Amino acid sequence: MNSSEIILLQNVDRPNSESIGVYRESGGYKALVKALKEMKPGEIVEEVKKSGVRGRGGAGFPAGLKWSFVPKESEKPKYLCCNADEGEPGTFKDRVLIERDPHQLIEGIIISCYAIGIHTAYIYIRGEFVKGARILEQAIAEAHENGFLGKNILGSGFDVDLYVHRGAGAYICGEETALMESLEGKRGNPRNKPPFPAVVGLYGGPTVINNVETLSNVPHIVTKGGDWYAGIGTEKSTGTKLFCISGHVQKPGVYELPLGVPLKELIYNVAGGLGEGHRLKAVIPGGSSTPILTAEEAEKVTLDYESLEALGTALGSGAVIVMDETTCIVRSTWRLSKFYEHESCGQCTPCREGTAWMEKILARIVRGEGRPEDIDLLADICDNIFGNTLCPMGDAATGPVLSTVRKFRNEYEYFIEHKRSIVGN
């Protein structure tokens, strides 16, 4: 890996990296100047399309394509929402971008607004990120003072207002339509689609919702061009990705690597490998909802959208959770199922009832009261939830359960038969 591939994290270790001065010293806001003075909005959209950058929030939808769904002319105001509701267990990359390089994000937002013809943008930030929200408020104020936000930005005649909105503590508000409901001051329930946000979104206006990491890439794509970006990574997974590696590794943290890097490289080299004398058991590759990988699969796979998809899982948010042989798969699955049970918004039947049912079964197994038929029952409940819910949360909740039932069935059988975990106690 060479240092030129560090794009998003290039400033984060500088002292006072959150200040506009430090950001500008390292070339910050030059992309905005270029965009406003030298480029037409459509050209920026084209560059972003060319870059191939895919949504970094987890779904991996091509960002440029998403932008192109927004109608050019609209009777209602158009909006941009930056999704900073980073809540997927194992994910902590946006937090670094927000706290350590807020201006990179803000610059990305302003350029994106210009590209799509938007004059009002919101950063919907996870409620717990108090520090991040304060830093963003400060950075927005600085950007205003420097003429990068507000009316007639840099004399271009283009206006953007940017607001920070703190969430109130619900995972589901990271789902784009729930986010908009919450932003509108309502209960954060996902909306039924269609209509899609690009057509009818926030306050009924066409709306683009992009993840923090996605938007933070935009200034770099504008500066160096879509082709440059597309040259990094693989053909279908372009650019770099922030990976948040946690669990049983020596150096957990956020690392920026080109897409397509072997998972092995991340675990053993970048994150320092597992603890002394421990061996890999399983990896959740892209946040807690992505189906688990066995050690064998993890040793072979590369970190890109297509390779993980081929294994029936996903790159997701880039949250890699590493588990060594001491991990009880049944217990860890129970813990994750508790999370989903707790976070289901409750409006749609399979998710509301199914997540709670699965949690109860897993809790019973962990209490030593499991029945052999519970394993197939869990799999069938997953099948009954999957694809049948209003938003992706239902599918997400089945990820850890169904994949562990399939790949670590022996651990369930052991727990049920012996009333204790296969890893002891």
Partner 1 sequence: MPNLKIDDIDVHVPDGTTILEAAKTAGIHIPHFCYHASLKIIATCRVCLVEVENTPKLQTACSTEVRDGMIVSTKNPRVQKARRAVLEFLLINHPLDCPVCDQAGECDLQDYVFDYGAAESRYVEEKRRYPRQDIGSKIVRDMNRCVHCTRCVRFCRDVIGIEEYGVFERGARTTVGTYIDKTLENNYQGSLVELCPVGALTSRDFRFKARVWRLNSAESVCPGCSRGCNVLIDFKDQTVYRFRARQNDDVNGRWLCDEGRMSYAFVNDSNRILDPLHKVDGQNKQVDLDDGLSSIGEILRKITDEHGPDSVGGIASSSCTNEENYLFAKFFREVLGSKNIDFIPAGRGEGSSDAFLIQADKSPNSRGAEEMGCRGEGLDVERMMSAARQGKLKALFVMGQDVIDRFPEKNLVKEALSALELLVVQDTNMNGTAALAHFVLPKASFAEMDGTFTNFEGRVQRIRPAFRHEDVLPGCMTISALVRKMGHDYGYSSASDVFDEIARKVQRYKGLSYDKIGNQGVKI
Name the pairing type of β-strands 293-294 and 280-284. Answer: antiparallel
Position 400 contacts partner 1 (CB under 8 A): no
Span interacting with partner 1, options 135-143, 252-260, 275-283, 342-350, rule CB under 8 A? 342-350
Span interacting with partner 1, options 96-104, 199-207, 297-305, 347-355, rule CB under 8 A? 347-355
For the CB of residue 373, give the shortest distance to partner 1 in the complex, in Å. 8
3 state SS of 181: helix
Contacts of 161 (CB under 8 A, 6+ apart): 119, 120, 121, 149, 150
Choice between 80 and 172, CB closer to partner 1? 172
Give me the half-sphere count of Cα atoms (radius 13 Å) on the Cβ side of residue 135: 22
Q: Provide the token pair at 111.
A: 């350029």
The one-letter amino acid at 422: I
Position 341 contacts partner 1 (CB under 8 A): yes
Choice between 223 and 388, CB closer to partner 1? 388
Residue environment code for 235-267, b if the CB has 16+ CB neighbours within 10 A, otherwise e: ebbbbbbbbbbbbbbeebebbbbbbbbbbbebb
3 state SS of 82: strand
Among positions 44, 106, 283, 361, the unique one binding partner 1 when judged by CB under 8 A: 361
The alpha carbons of the chain give a radius of gyration, in whole angstroms, of: 22
Among positions 305, 357, 414, 415, the unique one binding partner 1 when judged by CB under 8 A: 357
Contacts of 310 (CB under 8 A, 6+ apart): none
Span interacting with partner 1, options 5-13, 48-56, 326-334, 356-364, rule CB under 8 A? 356-364
Position 224 contacts partner 1 (CB under 8 A): no
Position 418 contacts partner 1 (CB under 8 A): no
Q: Provide the token pair at 347.
A: 């409006």
How is residue 114 annotated by DSSP? H
| Footprint on residues 150-189 left by partner 1 (CB under 8 A) | 170, 172, 187
The Cα 369–Cα 356 span in angstroms is 17
Choice between 251 and 360, CB closer to partner 1? 360
Among positions 301, 390, 396, 416, the unique one binding partner 1 when judged by CB under 8 A: 390
Identify whether the C-beta of residue 242 lies closer than 8 Å to the C-beta of residue 9.
Answer: yes
Position 88 contacts partner 1 (CB under 8 A): no
Position 367 contacts partner 1 (CB under 8 A): no
Identify whether the C-beta of residue 74 lies closer than 8 Å to the C-beta of residue 118.
Answer: no
Choice between 124 and 357, CB closer to partner 1? 357
How is residue 54 annotated by DSSP? B
Choice between 45 and 397, CB closer to partner 1? 397
Among positions 251, 326, 387, 419, the unique one binding partner 1 when judged by CB under 8 A: 387
For the CB of residue 301, give the shortest distance to partner 1 in the complex, in Å. 25
Position 348 contacts partner 1 (CB under 8 A): yes
Interface residue list for partner 1 (CB under 8 A): 170, 172, 187, 192, 341-350, 352-357, 360-361, 364, 371, 377, 384, 387-390
